[in-house]
Structure 1
Amino acid sequence: MTLAAFQGETLGYGGATVLRGVTLALERGERLVLLGRSGAGKTTLLNALYDRLTGAGLRVALAPQDHALVPQLSVTKNALMGRLDDHGALRNLWTLLRPPARDRAEVQALLDPLGLAAQADQPVEALSGGQRQRTALARALYRGGEVLIADEPVSAVDETQAAALLDLMRAHFPASVLALHDVELARSFATRLVGIRAGRVVLDAPPEAVSPAQIEALYA
């Protein structure tokens, strides 16, 4: 089942073109990882996919590179924000003031494997960069949905933690599109690698079909 597709499209933001001739499809069950130099257009493609997916009525979880957390709120309350659009304003206000026990328990079950159980009631502004990144992932996991869109979701943790977090993402979402900077992690996670260079998608293939030389060319 095709969840989203682009056919020879131009993508950008604020009236500026970033990517040209984009032809790409995301199928249910696929895990796409975007590779390329900083500024190549990975975030632009992630944003375009998010818009296309949500525009089609699909439930999408988002973990942006800047985390988009509320610093003064606790880890638990930031995670609870993943489902704010499921309810009305009064229900959401009550949830953030006095989270129901059932909601707190559901979030706590997600915080444990993320290594955030001890920080559940700490404000995000008191956390390290890696903890904030995992809080953003907790919010995405709590939201759930058909697709996860994540921009460098494991860049602030070590390789062992990163592999464990990617396993959680794989288990929670039927499809996902991630931008990653670690090529080996990308190979282990992806069903397809998508390479971006000079405003174009120049690579789209299963990891086993992509050579080291092709990867090097993306970053040359």
Structure 2
Amino acid sequence: MTGPILEARNLCWGPPRRPDILTDISFAMAEGEVMAICGANGAGKSSLLRLLYRYVPPRSGTVSLMGRDLWLHTARETARTVAAVLQEQPTDFALTARQIVALGRLPHRAGFASAALRDTEVVSAALERLDLARFADMPFGTLSGGEKQRVMVARALAQEPRVLILDEPTNHLDIRHQLELLALLRGLGLTVICTLHDLTLAAQFADRVLVLADGRVLSDGPPDLALSEHHIATAFNVTARVDRSGPAPRFSFHL
């Protein structure tokens, strides 16, 4: 497709009978583009993601998926294109890791034997890709926080989406698995939107960074421009220094 795969136009949203949390949010995502959303706690990052994966409709403005209003797509249509990995994890500990990942195939279920074989292949490939094959038949509740997080990413990959939305995907992961996961996400060829607290990881991982402050877009562009000392200071209410002398920027912060 020639236009953006996902586009937000003048989005505003807030809880019922309360003021807007998000105000006038606009951006467009090209196919295969990777964006990190950064900002202080309460800036509206998770709320913005909920609008993008069709959990809540905007109060005003639109989200378009492949040129069509997201809310004109059915939930099933959306789930075939957009997958989300949230910070909240399932509480049904009776399911195995494999069964959790297999839930990602529900939007594609057609009831044919050939489809069932395809589902099995896709689930096994997702488990392998996230280095989870040895945990596949273990109860989800027995896994560590990092292992659970990787299972949820594998479930999203099993949906075979074109857009992948993740809320703090590196939570619960050790340093090695953080780097491995972000490298995997970059190599998928998908449009990826994720929130990240770690500005260093955001700068290394993303094609562009969108910084939110008080529910508005403060900056949106390549990491070098979006994560300037001024923007970081404004968004996080700290004094920021960015050292760009090495191969990747290093950030320091002071009150």
Q: TM-score range by the shorter chain?
A: 0.7 to 0.9
Task: Tell which structure's C-alpha radius of gyration is larger.
Answer: 2
Give 1:189 deviation, angstroms: 1.3
Cα drift, residue 29 of structure 1? 2.4
Quote the Cα distance in structure 1 between the aligned partners of 2:13 and 2:168.
Answer: 20
Task: Give the SS at the match of 1:76.
Answer: helix
Match of 1:35 in 2: 38
Q: Distance in 1 between matches of 2:181 and 2:91?
A: 19
What is the rounded CA distance, in whole Å, between the counterparts of 1:109 and 1:5 in structure 2? Answer: 30
Give the equivalent residue in structure 2 for 1:6.
8
Q: Which segment is superposed worse, 43-52 or 67-76?
A: 67-76
TM-score normalised over the length of structure 2: 0.75
Match 1:200 to one of 216, 220, 223: 216
1:97 corresponds in structure 2 to none
Amino acid at match of 1:31: V
TM alignment of 1:18-97, pairs within 5 A:
18-51=21-54, 52=63, 53=65, 54-55=70-71, 59-68=81-90, 70-87=92-109, 91=111
Aligned partner of residue 208 in structure 1, secondary structure = helix
Corresponding residue of 1:211: 228
2:245 corresponding residue in structure 1 = none
Report if the CA contact (8 A) 1:5-1:23 is conserved.
yes
Structure 1 residues 74, 132: closer, same or farther in 2, change over 3 A? same
1:206/1:120 CA distance change after superposition, 3 Å? same
Larger CA deviation: 35-44 vs 2-11: 2-11
Report deviation, 1:49: 1.5
Structure 1, 148-157 or 66-75: larger mean CA deviation: 66-75
**What residue in structure 1 maps to residue 173 of structure 2?**
157
Which whole-Å CA distance do the structure 1 matches of 2:108 and 2:117 have between them? 18
CA contact (8 A) 2:126 2:155 kept: no
> For residues 36 and 199 of structure 1, do their structure 2 counterparts lie closer, same or farther at Cα, with a shift above 3 Å needed?
same
Q: Which moved more, 1:124-133 or 1:54-63?
A: 54-63
Helix, strand or coil at the partner of 1:155: coil
Distance 1:164 1:27 in 2: 24
Identity of aligned residues (%): 33
| C-alpha RMSD over aligned residues | 2.4
Aligned residues of 2:218 and 2:231 also touching (Cα < 8 A): no
**Residues 75 and 135 in structure 1, CA contact (< 8 A), matched pair in contact too:** yes
Counterpart AA for 1:120: A
Q: Does 1:115 pair with 2:137?
A: no
Q: Deviations over 1:178-201 (max 9, x none)?
A: 001111111111111011111211
| RCO comparison, higher one (Cα < 8 Å, 6+) | 1
Deviates more, 1:62-71 or 1:189-198: 62-71
Measure, in 2, the Cα distance between the counterparts of 1:43 and 1:72.
Answer: 28
Instruction: Point out where structure 1 has 5 or more consecutive residues left out of the alignment.
Output: 95-99
Is the CA contact 1:192–1:207 (under 8 Å) kept in the aligned structure 2?
A: yes
CA distance 1:38–1:115, shift in 2 (3 Å): same
User: Which structure shows the bigger proportion of residues in helix conformation?
Assistant: 1
- The two structures have a TM-score, normalised by structure 1, of 0.86
CA distance in 2, matches of 1:131, 1:84: 22
CA–CA distance in structure 2, aligned partners of residues 35 and 177 of structure 1: 11
* Separation in 1, partners of 2:162, 2:17: 30
1:191 equivalent in structure 2: 207
- Does the 8 Å contact 2:213/2:235 carry over to 1? yes
- Could you say if the C-alpha distance between residues 183 and 195 of structure 1 is closer, same or farther in structure 2, counting changes exceeding 3 Å? same
The partner residue of 2:161 within 124, 145, 155 is 145
> Which secondary structure state, in structure 1, belongs to the residue aligned with residue 204 of structure 2?
helix
